[in-house]
A and B are shown apart, each in its own frame.
Chain A
């Protein structure tokens, strides 16, 4: 299995996670299955919305985009495309920065930690390192 495949699989897991949090935020799920931390404190805080859109929905958009790019990168047509590596590195790099900012808010401002947010932050970090390895060994043939 290629790194792109692993990235796609992990991103799909992220899609599931973000969908769950977004559905909670939009009222389709009553309470979060949060065994550690205070997920609802975090998800009900004012920081859980950015530019009028729930952060979980932004996260869903991120994971879906990353999944589609990585999935495209596994196809015959784009398997040697360097832009896939560039895009995945840029996206996951941005994801790490954004997750870092959210984690800072949880620890320093909201004073509550959300288990699912921590899982997402860890997932993004793993995705970033995989994307970095993939980028360092990116195909040189196409762009």
Chain B
């Protein structure tokens, strides 16, 4: 061989030249060995192997990621029996007026209502006992990640933090919507951490899609009420499509309250749901 290929490092798994210990030629230290020289051409199989491993790993991971993309397609048995459509309640279920909001987490108008109007509704109407507010999932098929968002919220509700997750989801709509990503779970996981959920429980729930039928039930309730777009509000006997400002919403509430029966009887506007009452802060 033109160039010496010693194996002084004894780091070779192949044939080893014997008795190089103490053969000299190394740089200082006790028992120096002759320097190993591995020519570039000898390293070529090693680099090819590294390349093959890297490519195999990248292909496997890429394929797995493709498998986990959110397609917006949900599988539901057509013969299923849906549970009661209860949605998520805020406030006192026996308040004089109930507001139902049929909403899609990925719908921009719903996000606008949630971030601009809803804080006032909570403070000035719900907390004062004038109304109760019920969020009803109505995921639209045009939105790829909306079902995932509904699952994220339903699983937060399991830990009593639906509204915290609801607020986070709407506030970060620009980060997880179906146009910017087809893997929204990473964002929702971060939100779950931010509101201090038990992450393992939340993640197991999210992956299992265990509240799929509950969401389907609220959708069916919306269809029964002829909801065609989101957000759509039911206040008293009115079905109001579109994101309302506070003043417009308050006018509908006042109108419904004027028609409300005397205190002690059933609240106005939600006869189908009045039996599914829950204490404030609880839902489902």
Chain A interfacial positions (CB closer than 8 Å to B): 1-6, 8-9, 12-13, 15-17, 19-20, 23, 26-31, 33, 40, 44-46, 48-49, 73-74, 76, 79-80, 85, 134, 137-143
- Specify which of B45, B49, B56 lies most central, judged by the most chain A CB atoms within 10 Å of its CB: B49
In the complex the two chains form, is A2's CB within 8 Å of B32's CB?
no
- CB < 8 Å: which of B8, B14, B53, B203 contacts A1? B14
Q: A27-B185, A28-B65 are in contact. Are A138 and B54 (CB under 8 A)?
A: no
Q: How far is the CA of A73 from the CA of B9 in the complex (A)?
A: 10
In the complex the two chains form, is A142's CB within 8 Å of B26's CB?
yes
In the complex the two chains form, is B200's CB within 8 Å of A30's CB?
no
Q: How far is the CA of A86 from the CA of B203 in the complex (A)?
A: 41
Q: How far is the CA of A48 from the CA of B38 in the complex (A)?
A: 42
Known: A23-B64, A134-B11, A141-B8. 9 other contacts (CB 8 A): A1-B45, A1-B49, A2-B7, A28-B68, A29-B61, A31-B207, A40-B204, A46-B200, A139-B26
In the complex the two chains form, is A30's CB within 8 Å of B67's CB?
yes
In the complex the two chains form, is A79's CB within 8 Å of B38's CB?
yes
- CB < 8 Å: which of B9, B38, B49 contacts A138? B9
- Chain A residue at smallest Cβ distance from B183: A28
Whole-angstrom distance between the Cβ of A83 and the nearest chain B Cβ: 12
In the complex the two chains form, is B36's CB within 8 Å of A15's CB?
no
Q: A27-B183, A79-B9, A137-B10 are in contact. Are A45 and B26 (CB under 8 A)?
A: no
Q: Which residues of A contact B186 (CB under 8 A)?
A: 26-28
In the complex the two chains form, is B64's CB within 8 Å of A141's CB?
no
**Interfacial residues of chain B within 153-208, with CB under 8 A of chain A in the complex:** 183, 185-189, 199-200, 203-204, 207
Whole-angstrom distance between the Cβ of B108 and the nearest chain A Cβ: 24
Q: A6-B13, A80-B33 are in contact. Are A1 and B26 (CB under 8 A)?
A: no
In the complex the two chains form, is A141's CB within 8 Å of B11's CB?
no
In the complex the two chains form, is B68's CB within 8 Å of A31's CB?
yes
B74 within 8 Å of A (CB atoms): no
Q: How far is the CA of A48 from the CA of B204 in the complex (A)?
A: 14
Q: How far is the CA of A49 from the CA of B200 in the complex (A)?
A: 10
- Chain A residue at smallest Cβ distance from B70: A30
Q: A40-B204, A79-B38, A80-B35 are in contact. Are A12 and B28 (CB under 8 A)?
A: no
Q: How far is the CA of A125 from the CA of B10 in the complex (A)?
A: 21
Q: Classify chain B's interface size.
A: 35 or more
In the complex the two chains form, is B57's CB within 8 Å of A44's CB?
no
In the complex the two chains form, is A16's CB within 8 Å of B61's CB?
yes
Q: A27-B189, A40-B207 are in contact. Are A137 and B9 (CB under 8 A)?
A: yes
Chain B interfacial positions (CB closer than 8 Å to A): 7-14, 21, 26-33, 35-38, 43, 45-46, 49-50, 53-54, 56-58, 60-61, 64-65, 67-68, 183, 185-189, 199-200, 203-204, 207
In the complex the two chains form, is A9's CB within 8 Å of B13's CB?
no
Q: A20-B60, A140-B30 are in contact. Are A30 and B185 (CB under 8 A)?
A: yes
Q: How far is the CA of A2 from the CA of B224 in the complex (A)?
A: 72
Q: Which residues of B contact A30 (CB under 8 A)?
A: 67-68, 185, 207
Q: A27-B186, A74-B38, A140-B26 are in contact. Are A9 and B50 (CB under 8 A)?
A: yes
In the complex the two chains form, is A9's CB within 8 Å of B53's CB?
yes
- CB < 8 Å: which of B32, B49, B183 contacts A141? B32
In the complex the two chains form, is B200's CB within 8 Å of A141's CB?
no
- CB < 8 Å: which of A1, A23, A134 contacts B61? A23
- CB < 8 Å: which of B7, B33, B46 contacts A9? B46
- Chain B residue at smallest Cβ distance from A7: B11
Whole-angstrom distance between the Cβ of B63 and the nearest chain A Cβ: 9
In the complex the two chains form, is A80's CB within 8 Å of B61's CB?
no
Report, nearest first, the 3 A-B pairs whose CB atoms are least far apart: A16-B57, A141-B26, A137-B10
Whole-angstrom distance between the Cβ of A115 and the nearest chain B Cβ: 14
